[in-house]
Structure 1
């Protein structure tokens, strides 16, 4: 158990772990039923970007008193056979509503560990865009995800109907979140990550 907890902490720091705990199929992945409405294609990878901070705190509320439109981000971590992955790490970070990252602390940064059904939930803010007139990033979330028996996934997620999506060279429509609620004050966005299991042997 202690070894597994240490592996969890290393994974949240963005390290690709190759220890014995992460090359075995987890018990939950073997026994839980398939999840309905699952796309079995692995979630595409994207670049980490220059603003990642390791050793984020384990927490679900990331706002820390910042102002902006509230965003609830929730979803599941699944295998390519549509089974939920318990004890997967979901490490989330983003800029604030003005396009600024907190690079000295952990505002809008944190990680969660999925429950028995592979679910996670964060309370954060809608990120803004940033850049200059020649290259401007559309609003996006950065995420690292790793299960007990999967490789590390680093990717970015995007929002529907953003004007800058078409101009951002990193934008991938496969990585669009879905809104289950969208008002002037609150957006609830969902996304399911699909990870391949490491091969045995």
Structure 2
């Protein structure tokens, strides 16, 4: 069954999973391997030009540089499910589609990386379907000691909903320990190639899409993409 991912008020209060991170988060993050992989990733993804640059401490011009402004927010929609598994790899035997290895850093508005930040991801599959009975293509993770995350997933497909056809996107919630929640959606460049779909036309027709939240993609190489997106979030309620 295909689902619309937009409701009138976003449902932020009723569906939000509480996040109170204790001092143990810093210990966990500091113990992560220096690869920048998420703590729950079963295996490190292949190194790419993007990840190699990050590991070497070189700037990567993939998303707008941190300038103190928060990443644009978007409505949550009715399809968020609390209590998703903690994992950085959403590729399970039941999942097929065009692979995506997404990396990034979570910054505060002073452009300081944020260790232990919560990131929740959920998306539809290659058919435009969301899993509402389980947790396929759903998961959360915490940034490592350098504020970095890695997500192994697939590129989702477009689908019809109450607001018309939605362009392919990944839902995200990002939250610093005890901070406010940023809810947003990540999109794909016009020249993305997946499932025979015209991403340029889909993006142009989606009235909810925000171009500032476009993932920077490299590839496809071997049928898989490498992407990068950095988040900037507030750490205190204002």
Q: What TM-score does the superposition give when structure 2 sets the normalisation length?
A: 0.67
CA distance in 2, matches of 1:117, 1:91: 18
CA distance in 2, matches of 1:88, 1:123: 18
May I ask how many residue pairs the two structures share in their alignment?
Answer: 177
By how many angstroms is 1:156 displaced?
Answer: 0.4
Residue matched to 1:14: 16
What SS is found at the alignment partner of 1:124?
strand
Q: 1:30-84: CA deviations, max 9, x gaps? A: xxxxx96434210111011121111011011112121111011111110111100
Q: CA RMSD in A?
A: 2.7
Deviation at 1:199, TM superposition (A): 5.8
CA change 1:184–1:153 in 2 (3 A) is same
Residues 155/134 of structure 1: CA separation in 2 closer, same or farther (3 Å cut): closer
More strand per residue: 1
2: distance between equivalents of 1:144 and 1:50?
14
Normalising by structure 1, we get a TM-score of 0.79
Equivalent residue, structure 2, for 1:196: 234
Aligned twin of 1:179: 217
1:111-158 Cα shifts (integer Å, max 9, x gaps): 110001100001111100000698100000000110114210111010
In structure 2, do the counterparts of structure 1 residues 16 and 132 end up closer, same or farther at CA, with 3 Å as the change threshold? closer
- Where in structure 2 are there 5+ consecutive unaligned residues? 1-14, 30-57, 60-64, 191-198
